[in-house]
Amino acid sequence: MLGSAADAEDVLQETWLRWAGVDLAGVREERAYLVRIVTRQALDRLRTLGRRKESYVGPWLPEPLLTAPDVAEDVELADSVSMAMLLVLETLQPIERAVFVLREVFDLDYDEIAEAVGKSPNAVRQIAYRARAHVAARRPRGTGSPAEHRAALQAFQRAVETGELQSLLDILAPDVVALSDGGGVKHALLRPVVGAGNVARLLAVGWWKRDAERSAELVQINGGPGLLIRLNGEIDGVVAVHVENGYVTGAYHVRNPEKLSRVERPTAVSR
pLDDT value, residue 215: 81
pLDDT value, residue 159: 76
pLDDT value, residue 205: 66
Q: What share of the chain is helix, strand, coil (3-state, %, to 5)?
A: 50, 20, 35
pLDDT value, residue 115: 92
pLDDT value, residue 149: 76
Burial (0-12, 13-18, 19+ Cβ within 10 Å), 199 = buried
Q: Which amino acid makes up residue 170?
A: D
The predicted-structure confidence for 120-163, as pLDDT tens digits, reads as follows 999 999 999 999 999 999 887 766 677 777 777 787 778 777 77
CB atoms within 10 A of CB 1: 21
pLDDT value, residue 88: 92
pLDDT value, residue 254: 95
Which residues of the chain are under the pLDDT cut of 50? none
pLDDT value, residue 74: 79
Burial (0-12, 13-18, 19+ Cβ within 10 Å), 216 = buried
